[in-house]
Amino acid sequence: MTNPRAQAQEKKIALTDRIRTRLQRFFGPWGMFVRGFIKHPVMVGSIVPSSPTLIRHMLRPVDWKNTKLFVEYGPGVGTFCRPVLERMAGDAMLIAIDTNEDFIDYLRKDIRDSRFVAVHGSAADVEAIIAAHGFEKADYILSGLPFSTLPAGVGPAIAAATHRALRPGGAFLVYQFRARARDFLAAHFTRIDNAFEWVNVPPCFLFWGWKD
């Protein structure tokens, strides 16, 4: 004998699942990005993905011909991942590291490229992560993590680990909404180039910390 209450509950769950699926299809990556910001506001720098102009500006100094390993912290829904893959050589690798499992699951399903690896983990563990994928050093490391709002001690730990993980001549590429982020780089990088990008929501500071 069927239970009317149980049937009603099953129909309600099925309807909720259909609505969720349709919303995900409608909003696409932007919806995923907003959900990630709501769940982890301290770890996501902005509710709006980076603009194409910002991406081009940030990646301009990269020597793609001599790039074998590019690492990104906090890739979100892959706003930078795709342009990086478009520019990389066929034998290079992009490792994207994020503490948000939703973003990692999304990227693994959405980006079908043998040169791409999405890792659920902390940027502070970058040395162990790149070693696990057969590399000693990274050529470039990109980050949009909000250094000024990270938990105490996390920002300095990430900056120190990043400096150790880079090869000589490599660079730490950072885009931030507060100029104070430069202080985290200055503790380890003697040469820091900087710029400001207005064509982004919101406009932001760009830093390139070069390892001697």
- For the segment 11-20, what is each residue's pLDDT rounded down to a tens digit? 666 655 565 5
- For the segment 178-189, what is each residue's pLDDT rounded down to a tens digit? 898 899 999 999
Residue 21 has pLDDT above 80, yes or no: no
- What is the distance between the alpha carbons of residues 134 and 45, in angstroms, rounded to a whole number? 30
10 Å CB burial of residue 69 (0-12, 13-18, 19+) is buried
- At residue 117, the pLDDT reads 98
- What CATH superfamily classification does 52-210 receive? Vaccinia Virus protein VP39 (3.40.50.150)
- For the segment 159-172, what is each residue's pLDDT rounded down to a tens digit? 999 999 999 999 99
28: left (phi over 0), alpha (psi -120 to 50) or beta: left
**CA-based R_g, the chain, Å:** 19
- At residue 182, the pLDDT reads 93
Lowest-confidence region among 115-119, 121-125, 177-181? 177-181
Structural domain boundaries in the chain: 52-210
- What is the distance between the alpha carbons of residues 2 and 81, in angstroms, rounded to a whole number? 50
On whether the CB atoms of residues 176 and 207 are closer than 8 A, the answer is: yes
Angle between helices 4-39 and 101-110 (to 10 degrees): 90
Lowest-confidence region among 45-54, 155-164, 189-198, 202-211? 45-54
- For the segment 135-147, what is each residue's pLDDT rounded down to a tens digit? 999 999 999 988 8
